[in-house]
Amino acid sequence: MNVIDLLFFIAALGLLSVRNVYLSIGLVAIEGLLISVMVSSSGPLSWVSGLVALSTLAIKAGLIPAVLSRLIIALPAEGLKDQPLPLWAYAAAVLAIFGTDHIIHLLAPSHLIQNEPAFFFALSTVYLGLVMIVARRHLLSQIAALVSVENGLVLLAVSMSGSLPTFVELGILVDLVVAVTLLVWTGHQIHREFKTTDIVVLQRLKG
């Protein structure tokens, strides 16, 4: 079992359990650090793999947490905690994790999976992130969950292919930066209009 994959999954579980937005951003940064280490060790060491690993580290463990932190500055103290997750979210998370093991057994005859532990942790992280996107009410918690889903997809692809082409990795990073930038801008607009980042207030926009 790869320690990096296990730590990655533990960080995803941490995102599911914590309510403090600062801690959520910190866990996203840890995931970014682990992904950069994984990228640098998934293939032969070269200046290209080193560049991709450094870019991943700078964006996922540096730029994105920094951008999310800038949005936190505008929040009042009471806006730094998310609402508790409903019980159905924890039940869905448990079912998703057990379901991942079943998927591995179904795919085993096809030999698509090169690293079963990494596949398990990666797909479980994706499922946990999707549960959080649906169940969380704080916008920043949802953005953190979205980044975690993307991290899980990268690990999932590596667990099946061994490594990703350089242009794919760089393209994913660019897409992620654009998506997070747009979401943070949206968060600023929601906070300016409604004085909160609780997405439930968007129900007021229903005509």
Q: At what angle do helices 139-161 and 64-73 cross, to 10 degrees?
A: 170
Specify the pLDDT at position 12.
92
Specify the pLDDT at position 94.
93
Specify the pLDDT at position 200.
66
Instruction: Render the burial of 135-162: b for 16+ CB within 10 Å, e for the rest.
Output: bbbbbbbbbbbbbbbbbbbbbbbbbeee
| CA-based R_g, the chain, Å | 17
Q: Are 45 and 53 in contact (CB under 8 A)?
A: no
Walking along the chain (207 residues) 10 residues at a time, the average pLDDT comes out as 84 90 91 85 70 85 85 67 87 92 87 88 93 87 89 86 66 78 75 68 59
Structural domain boundaries enclosing 135: 3-205
What is d(CA 37, CA 54) in angstroms, rounded to the nearest whole number? 9
Specify the pLDDT at position 137.
81
Specify the pLDDT at position 164.
64
Domain count, the chain: 1
**Single pTM value for the model:** 0.86
Q: How far is CA 139 from the centre of its chain?
A: 14
